């Protein structure tokens, strides 16, 4: 590296912390070009919100077809938070967007406080869980001890894929690009919904997604999908991305030769995996009034069901508006 390039090196790195939500407002025409616009709408101490809008021309009219917000954070060379310069607001529209960004930041903090990872379901959700339990018992009794065909056990709606991370999918930091992970998760979610419903689904939205840890080139990532909630012809699908890295159970020696550590205990994949993302997709199945109702059996599945219901209700409110 030359002295000149060293001087041009940035003292901070900008990384993606989370994607707020990717909401599709209308169907995309495959024979029309897309126009994308991005703006920094809010800046905090070391984080900022970036709004991305996608437009498509329908005749002479420029129509917004998709919108998303990305939360970006600044890191210094030691991977610690780095301060960002304040955002200058020059007009009422910029001040309005900044206020919305501030509200989004506050809402993110509040939503983490009521997450089912931290607090139990609320009273309405507890009543729903009990009603679901009673409904399942009655349906099984009426059907001679078997679950009727219009229902499906949640554990039977799971699918998996294992993908090797290749260098062509790296970002500027030489880690795996988050957009590539989104794409692979979407493909599995769409296929899982198709298999479950028998109908090619229509994408509605991707819920808020956090990037918990970087993924290295050469890692293997296991994508695991599960139908978490159904209502009418709507389906919520969770896709969990787990890094399963050979680095966790092998070591490098001189000249790049890999020497596998001799096993001293039974193989347990959970010791070698690390969850990096949880994607939650919303789909609609056109041409049918309803799909099979998903039925949780364990407490973990019930919590997954309640989370899926929360996402469905929030997305429905946004779609209607």
Q: Which two tokens stand for residue 17?
A: 């912390």
For position 48, what pLDDT does the model report? 93
The CA distance from 82 to 74, in Å, is: 5
What predicted TM-score, i.e. pTM, was given to this entire model? 0.84
pLDDT per residue as tens digits for the range 66-76: 999 999 999 88
Residue 213 to residues 51, 204, 222, Cα–Cα distance (Å): 23, 27, 15
Query: Phi and psi (nearest 5°) for 282?
Result: -115, 130
What is the rounded CA–CA span in Å between residue 238 and residue 121? 19
Q: Provide the H-helix boundaries in the chain.
A: 3-8, 92-113, 123-142, 178-197, 299-320
Q: What crossing angle do the helices spanning 299-320 and 123-142 adopt, rounded to 10°?
A: 110
Angle (CA) 21-128-311 rounded to 5° is 5
The mean per-residue pLDDT over the stretch 8-28 comes to 83
CA angle 316-25-92, nearest 5°? Answer: 100
pLDDT at 3: 52
Under a CB-based contact definition with an 8 Å cutoff, are residues 82 and 48 in contact? no
Q: What is the pLDDT of residue 51?
A: 92
Nearest to 50 by CA among 64, 32, 71, 31: 71
What confidence category does residue 117 fall into, taking pLDDT thresholds of 50, 70 and 90? confident
Indicate whether 268 pLDDT > 80. no
Average pLDDT over residues 107-128: 84
pLDDT exceeds cutoff 50 at 125: yes
User: What pLDDT is attached to residue 61?
Assistant: 87
Average pLDDT over residues 127-156: 88
* CB within 8 Å of 68: residues ≥ 6 apart: 19, 20, 21, 22, 23, 51, 52
User: What pLDDT shows up at residue 152?
Assistant: 92
**What percentage of the chain reaches a pLDDT higher than 70?**
89
Q: What is the residue-averaged pLDDT of the chain?
A: 86
User: Cα–Cα distance between 241 and 201 in angstroms, integer?
Assistant: 22
- Among candidates 290, 295, 303, which has minimal Cα distance to 132? 295
pLDDT tens per residue, range 224-262: 999 999 999 999 999 999 998 766 555 444 445 555 555
pLDDT at 291 over 60: yes
Q: What is the 3-state secondary structure (H, E, C) of 83-97?
A: CCCCCCCCCHHHHHH
pLDDT for 284 beyond 80 = yes
């Amino acid at each position: 590296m030359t002295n000149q390039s060293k001087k041009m090196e940035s003292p901070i790195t900008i990384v993606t912390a989370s994607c707020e939500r990717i909401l599709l407002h209308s169907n995309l025409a495959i024979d029309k070009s897309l126009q994308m616009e991005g703006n920094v709408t809010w800046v905090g101490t070391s984080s900022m919100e970036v709004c991305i809008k996608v437009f498509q021309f329908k005749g002479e009219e420029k129509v917004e077809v998709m919108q998303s917000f990305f939360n970006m954070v600044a890191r210094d060379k030691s991977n610690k938070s780095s301060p960002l310069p304040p955002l200058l607001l020059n007009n009422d529209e910029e001040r309005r967007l900044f206020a919305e960004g501030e509200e989004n930041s506050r809402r993110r903090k509040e939503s983490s406080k009521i997450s089912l990872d931290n607090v139990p379901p609320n009273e309405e959700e507890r009543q729903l869980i009990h009603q679901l339990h009673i409904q399942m018992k009655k349906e099984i009794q009426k059907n001679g001890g078997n679950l009727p065909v219009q229902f499906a056990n949640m554990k039977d709606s799971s699918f998996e894929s294992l993908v090797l991370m290749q260098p062509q999918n790296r970002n500027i930091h030489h880690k795996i690009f988050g957009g590539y992970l989104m794409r692979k998760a979407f493909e599995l979610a769409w296929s899982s919904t198709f298999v479950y419903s028998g109908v090619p689904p229509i994408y509605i939205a991707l819920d808020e997604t956090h990037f918990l840890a970087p993924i290295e080139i050469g890692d293997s990532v296991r994508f695991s999908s599960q139908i978490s909630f159904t209502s009418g012809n709507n389906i919520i699908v969770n896709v969990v991305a787990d890094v399963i890295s050979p680095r966790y159970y092998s070591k490098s020696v001189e000249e790049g030769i890999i020497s596998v550590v001799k096993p001293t205990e039974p193989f347990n994949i959970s010791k070698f995996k690390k969850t990096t993302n949880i994607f939650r997709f919303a789909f609609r199945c056109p041409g049918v009034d309803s799909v099979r109702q998903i039925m949780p059996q364990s407490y973990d599945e019930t919590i997954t069901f309640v989370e899926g219901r929360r996402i469905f209700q929030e997305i429905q409110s946004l779609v209607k508006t």
